[in-house]
Amino acid sequence: MFFPMKRLIRISVYTLAGVLLWGSWAYAQRPAYYDHPDRFYRRGIDLFEKEKYGAAQQQFARAAGAYGNLRTELSSDARYYMALCAIRLFNNDAEALVNEYIRGNPESPRVNQICYQMALYEYQRKQYRRAIGWFEQVDRNRLDKDELPEYYFKKGYSYYRRGDPDRAGVAFSEIKDRDTEYTAPAIYYYAHIAYEQEHYLTALREFERLKNDETFGHIVPYYILQIYYLQEDYDQIIAIGPALLEKVVSGREDEVLRLVADAFYRKGLYAEAEKYMTRYMEKAKVLTEEERYQAGFIFYQNGKYDLAALEFEKIAGRKNAMGQNAAYHLADCYIRMGDRNKARMAFSSAARLDFDQEIQEDALFNAAKITYELSYSPFNEAIRAFQEYIERFPSSERIDEAYNYLVMAFQNTRNYKAALESLNRILVKNDRIRKAYQRVAFYRGLELFNNQEYEEAIDHFDLSLEHADKANDLKARALFWKAEAWSRLGDHDMAIRYYEEFLTSPGAFGLEEYDLCLYSMGYAWFEKENYAEAASWFRKFTASGRSGRNDLLADAFNRIGDTYFIRMQYTTALEYYDQSLAIGMANPDYAMFQKAFTMGLMKDYAGKISVLEQLISKYPRSNYRDDAWFEQGNSYVNLQQYDQALAAYRKIIDDFSGSSYVARAKVKMGLVYYNLDRNDRAIELFKQVVEEYPGTSEARNALTGLKNIYVDQNEVDTYFAYARSVGEYADVSTAEKDSLTYLSGENLYMEGNCERAVQVLQNYLEEFPQGSFATNAYFYLAECLAEQNRQEEALRSYDEVISRPRNIFTEPALVEAASIAYRQKNYFDALEYYLIMEQVAERPANQTEALKGQLRCYYHLKNYARVNETGERLLQLTGLPEDMVRETHYKMARAYRETGKPEKALEHYRAISEDVSSVMGAEAKYRVAELYFETGEIDKAEAEIFSMIDMNTPHAYWMAKSFLLLGDVLVEKGDYFQARYTLQSLLDGYGRNDDGILEEAAEKLDKIINRDMFITPEDTLKPVNLF
């Protein structure tokens, strides 16, 4: 039990001053009557005796004036009475008249009396310093016996009021044991001085003498009660206190209740203490910290934990011994009330203070244990608490238990980055710690992998493997994900190495990753163009059938089909494309197109046409529609169904004007017309291609077609003339040089020798700016310049490609140009590239890339209406990668919020808020809570924050922002204790100090602390005063 500083009854020592100044003890010596023949003097004496001091003073003044300068006894007496009248009248000239009398009659026996009367005069005027000056001029031996009690009392009281209790006590002691009218007040003040000087036995003895005094009997019981309190004689307080309450004077009841309650409290009689404490709490306007602690402890001992908690909460945050003790007992109250979360907070609060190390040790252990049991560690509180416990109390009886919990906390944490930092601080790692390290490093690696930080992910997988003392599932999984990271980095040799190591690891076969490894191994060999090996691994994956991923299964069948297609094993390829189509997932339009194309290679043109018609009909939004029409046309040509062929090619020209197939379709149509002997129409189409697509392979093919027609018609000169008219790339005399010059540059590019390729390609373009291969040259030049990080020059070359008629390089050039502009934060230009890309892209991936780029550019340009419009289109795409779905919802939510549509923002934030492993998901979860808070839905906001805490995101910033918001929520709900702890835990546990979180937390905490919720404790004991 904690015993706070004692607090005493306050009784003003000055409340009886009026009684003493004007009460029954006031005494004024009556002057003796002297007979004198002078009528003025005698009339003055008569008036003085009738207490008509003003009139008397006039007579004495006339008598003194009549005597003039004669120094007679009556003259002296007249002046004496003049001064005495001034004293009685409290005239301002009293002191001057007294001093004049003393100077004129220094040897007069009346000097002692006039000094005494002057002392009484200053006493009655409460001029105690001046009174003391006159009292000290009085010879007490020359005073009448009846005057001595008043002399000693008023002199003593004057000393007391001037802060000289020792001299006052001496004066009071002269009369406290005599029977006078001043004895009772002298006893009172003598006792009071003894009380002030902590001479409690003396004070008690003297106060006991006044218990039945008419004036002081109603006051001294409070002194007596308090002296017993100061002597810690609680039995006496219990004996007299309740009876005193029966006759307590107004204004004293709450103070007596307080002392009686405290006495019962200190005797451990909590039921009785509660009775008086409850009455006291009803009377008192405010409670001090000590009183709140006592009330809480009394309720606690009586099993009324809810009431105890209410009191302990108000002082548990104080940074003193009482605050620590209150927090410790508050935690136990919460445990008994079934609120373990608040118990955790209270134990943590007690553990932060070291006034009582026994409490601190137990509180720290319990805080850590409950935190672990509740799985509540947004900032790895359990780990930090157990580590602190082990460091601070290495000799504790519970040290082994603490180590066990620490290992389990590491095993169960989801804040892997912080946990790894904690593990790295443990210099000597036993087997259990190493096992924990293996797990934490592995899951931290997965986090980094999911965030596309593959190199750092590999480092963490290596750390996990280093701490794997023996083969286990985690070791095998680390090998697999390390291989996946290498694969994402494009190093397929390293990927294959670790895939193989994984597959041969003990226990790997039973893991979910096993089948994924077969699939990934197939892709690694596919990327290395080892198609036989790739097919082998893909077949192993499809044969296993354990993955449950039909999308991967369909994709694997497609890739197997591709490997046989590439190796010209068309019948087998068709089998696998059909198996993919049977599943109907993973780009079935691709499988259908490949099937049709393969059938064409097998000369099954009718079958090919049929499959292509199915593709066009079944997938009207497919990116392979223009390919399908083109291949249909080719098949009709092979079947010599020229009208159908021309119709198919015309479909491309009319419906797919941006397609790269347009030029090829025109060339094909020209050839058909040539074969039909419709040379005029053929010439027209060939010339369109030459003039609309100069420098392209299609233009060269068209020139060849024109040459054949003109040769057939014996119009060779006409051909040469036309060739010269369209540019040097068509000039027969320069064509060979053009071709040879370009091919040397292309060969260097293909060999990866970009340094030489740049030089040769630039020379080629200078010599043949409109050459047959200018478009190719610009593209390869741009690729090499980009590889050399000469971004501006690369962008200019890509622009040359893009500005030319649609060609096979247009699409990849747009992709690269857009990427460069975006990286340079030139969002206006990047947006233009992405808009064009959307119009011309034939590959589905580039269609998606175009929309994704538009979304990002609109977002940076703050064109929020377009952000939402583009986002809706993105979300309608099938197979959109999960990370892009998340980014789209995130940017749409931000856009809606910026445009004042919080309900729409909430909808999109909610769509991604349940996966807080990504930074966007973590922010979204916070924003959902924030929006609820802003709209006054406090309970929903609180639920979202606690959900975020349960999910334990690795993104500490958004977890910290959620804690700040939780503080606001708790303040709004009036739960100041939990709000204080929430903010304090953030200050204790948040690891960064450069992002404003700690400053904001400190500011919010100060506002809570500065609220008028806590009474400042009294620093010193204040004595009881009665007057």
The predicted structure's pLDDT at residue 30: 37
Predicted local confidence at residue 423, as pLDDT: 83
Q: What is the pLDDT of residues 445-463, one digit of tens each?
A: 998 998 889 999 999 999 9
Confidence tier at 175 by pLDDT (50, 70, 90): very high
More confident position, 31 or 832: 832
**317-413 matches 805-912 in fold:** yes
Q: How does residue 729 score in pLDDT terms, banded at 50, 70 and 90? A: low
Tell me how many helices (H) and strands (E) the chain has: 54, 0
Among 113, 118, 50, 119, residue whose Cα is nearest residue 77: 113
Q: Which residues are CB-neighbours of 359 under 8 A, at least 6 positions away?
A: 324, 325, 328, 350
C-alpha–C-alpha distance, residues 920 and 911, integer Å: 11
Distance of CA 456 to the CA centre of its chain: 26
Q: How far apart are CA 476 and CA 472, in angstroms?
A: 7
Residue 9 has pLDDT above 70, yes or no: no
Token pair in block for residue 719? 């051909």
Check whether 501 has a pLDDT greater than 50: yes
The architecture (CATH level 2) of 512-586 comes to Alpha Horseshoe (1.25)
CA angle 975, 980, 981 (to 5 degrees): 105
Q: Taking a C-beta distance cutoff of 8 angstroms, is the pair 711, 722 a contact?
A: no
Task: Quote the tokens at residue 105.
Answer: 């009659």
Cα–Cα distance, 985 to 987 (Å, whole number): 5
φ/ψ of 636, rounded to 5, equals -65, -35
What digits encode the pLDDT tens for the residues 881-894? Answer: 888 999 999 999 99
Map out the domains of the chain as residue ranges: 15-142, 317-413, 419-490, 512-586, 805-912, 935-998
pLDDT in tens, 524-537: 999 999 999 999 99
The reported pLDDT for the residue numbered 1017 is 37
CA 169, 174, 177, 182 torsion-angle sign: negative
pLDDT tens-digit series, residues 575-596? 999 999 999 876 899 999 999 9
Structure-block tokens of residue 701: 């093919």
Compute CA distances 879 → 274, 576, 588, 794, whole Å: 70, 21, 12, 32
pLDDT at residue 878 is higher than 80: no
Closest CA to 236 of 228, 247, 224, 244: 228
pLDDT of residue 862: 95
The pLDDT of residue 436: 86
CATH level 2 (architecture), domain 15-142 = Alpha Horseshoe (1.25)
Most confidently predicted of 155-159, 287-291, 580-584, 711-715 = 155-159
Distance in angstroms between the alpha carbons of the first and the last residue of the chain: 36
CATH architecture assigned to 317-413: Alpha Horseshoe (1.25)
DSSP 732: H
The model's pLDDT over 892-921, given as tens digits with 9 standing for 90+, comes to 999 999 999 999 999 999 999 998 888 899
- Residue 730: what pLDDT? 56
In CATH, which of 1.25.40.10, 1.10.645.10, 2.120.10.70, 1.10.540.10 is domain 805-912?
1.25.40.10
Distance of CA 709 to the CA centre of its chain: 78
Cα dihedral across residues 795, 796, 797, 801: positive or negative:
positive
808 band by pLDDT with thresholds 50, 70 and 90: confident
Six-digit token pair at 823? 């990286």
Rounded to an integer, what distance in angstroms lies between the CA atom of residue 295 and that of residue 304?
Answer: 11
**Rounded to an integer, what is the distance from CA 941 to the centroid of its chain?**
15
Q: What is the average pLDDT across 157-173? A: 96
Task: Give the mean model confidence (pLDDT) for residues 465-489.
Answer: 90
Nearest to 242 by CA among 229, 227, 225: 225
Calpha distance 64→67 (Å, rounded) = 5
- Joined tokens for residue 234: 């609680």
Which amino acid is located at 958 in the chain? W
CB contact at 8 A, 432 and 407: yes
Query: What torsion do the CA atoms of 1009, 1012, 1014, 1020 make, to the nearest 10 degrees?
Result: 110
How many angstroms separate the CA atoms of 484 and 499, rounded? 8
Distance of CA 291 to the CA centre of its chain: 35
State pLDDT tens for residues 924-943.
999 999 999 999 999 999 99
Q: What is the pLDDT of residues 1011-1024, one digit of tens each?
A: 644 433 333 223 33
Instruction: Return phi, psi of residue 790, to 5°.
Output: -100, 70
Tokens of 777: 């040259």
From 121, 161, 116, select the one nearest 17 (Cα to Cα): 161
- Give yes or no for a contact between 20 and 52, defined as CB atoms under 8 angstroms apart: no
Residue 789 DSSP code: T
